[in-house]
Amino acid sequence: MEVLLPNPDPLGGPPVDSRSFDRTGGQASTSYDSFGAWRVQQYVNILQPQRPWLGLYNSFVKVTAPAVGVRGVQDQALLHKMLPEDFLFEVFARASPYTLGRAMCVCRKWRYMIRHNPALWQAACLKAWQTISYAENVRLCRAQYEGSWRKMFLERPRLRTDGVYVSRNTYVKAGVAEWTARKSVHVVVWFRYLRFTPGGRILYKTSPHRLALVYKNLLGLRSNPAEMIYGGRFSLKDDEVEAAIKYPGSRPTVLRLKVKVRGTIPGAWNRLDIKSIITTGLEVKPGDEEENVLYETEDWDEDYSANQDVPAVNHKRGLMAFVFVPFEEAETSVLNLPIDKMDYYVPG
């Protein structure tokens, strides 16, 4: 065993004679070839920052004090130890219902917390059906959904307000004949856009432009005739939706829309099947607003028109089902594909 002699150097250098000795007093090998080389190495160690965490790479770190999970078992996850359940609840309470659905896929603890916390789903239900009183929502939850707000949110038909419903329609148009050998045809694509608001308003737009170029115009809550966006009112009864949309102008027209809401998976409610689209004349009164248009047209027959100059028309084209697209997916949706890459789209 080698013993180093004490050194008065403040940097803690090697022994004065730069040699080491064994216990028998015999001379051992020299520790450093030169005192200058040792000094250089010491300065390098001082200037170079220490990174002790580099030693954690490729190693398994265990939590010394495991946290207790929601079921009373010890939770080994470091994330759960650093984020208490009270803090997680405050985060989840500010998230949208579909963000909660994604959070449930993170781990078992988050899934258990979200699934069995009625306060989160009660807030989601009251926001989705805010046009109905609180007492009526509570009565429906107890009578039809066994008192479960989560079950009510998944099974009760509703209209989503965090995106746009899009109907992609195509038709074939004959082109100009080139000489007499061939006659060209064109496949034309156009869209219907619907946006619903929690307060019972609806925005409607038809356009040949794809969703990525249009959805920003629908982010507002008001109609904008300059952008060909028209407003109206809608009502939801079970899974049936009736809407009346007002077209202003010298010959005011109202578009009456009837659709049926459904979902491809439980709780999605991401499809609207069109039952009828009828345009009729509308009698304009002084101070008339679009908020009253649904009330005025709810008892009209399909062939009735309040203005004889504008006959009722029951449209038979452009009835492809609406597909819901969230705002955050509007620019990446498959509905943005051009006609040469997707000539026909089946909503499913």
- Look at residue 42 and tell me whether its pLDDT is greater than 60: yes
The mean per-residue pLDDT over the stretch 193-199 comes to: 88
For domain 74-155, give the CATH number: 1.20.1280
Query: Where are the CATH 1.20.1280 domain residues in the chain?
Result: 74-155
* Lookup: tokens for 277: 């689209």
- Per the DSSP assignment, residues forming a β-bridge with 280 are 254
- Cα–Cα distance, 289 to 305 (Å, whole number): 18
The pLDDT, as a whole number, for residue 291 is: 64
* Mutual angle of helices 118-128 and 134-144, in 10-degree steps: 120
pLDDT digits (tens, 9 = 90+) for 61-105: 554 444 444 455 555 566 666 777 788 888 888 888 888 888 888
**Out of 25-34, 132-141, 148-157, 175-184, least confident range:** 25-34
**Out of 46-60, 182-196, 222-236, 294-308, least confident range:** 46-60
Closest CA to 239 of 261, 272, 264, 266: 261
The pLDDT, as a whole number, for residue 90 is: 84
pLDDT digits (tens, 9 = 90+) for 277-335: 988 887 766 555 666 777 677 777 777 777 777 888 888 888 899 999 998 888 899 99
The pLDDT, as a whole number, for residue 52 is: 60
How does residue 229 score in pLDDT terms, banded at 50, 70 and 90?
confident
Which amino acid is located at 92 in the chain? F
The pLDDT, as a whole number, for residue 91 is: 86
Is 193:180 a contact under the CB 8 Å cutoff? no
Three-state SS sequence of the chain: CCECCCCCCCCCCCCCCCEEECCCCCEEEECCCCHHHHHHHHHHHHHCCCCHHHHHCCCCCCCCCCEECCCCCEECCHHHHHCCHHHHHHHHHCCCHHHHHHHCCCCHHHHHHHHCCHHHHHHHHHHHCCCCCHHHHHHHHHHHCCCCHHHHHHHCCCCCCCEEEEEEEEEEEEEEEECCCEEEEEEEEEEEEEEECCCCEEEEEEECCCHHHHHHHHCCCCCEHHHCEEEEEEEEECCEEEEEEEECCCCCEEEEEEEEEECCCCCCCCEEEEEEEEEEECCCCCCCCHHHHHHHHCCCCCCCCCCCCCCCEECCCCCCCEEEEEHHHCCCCHHHCCCCCCCCCCCC
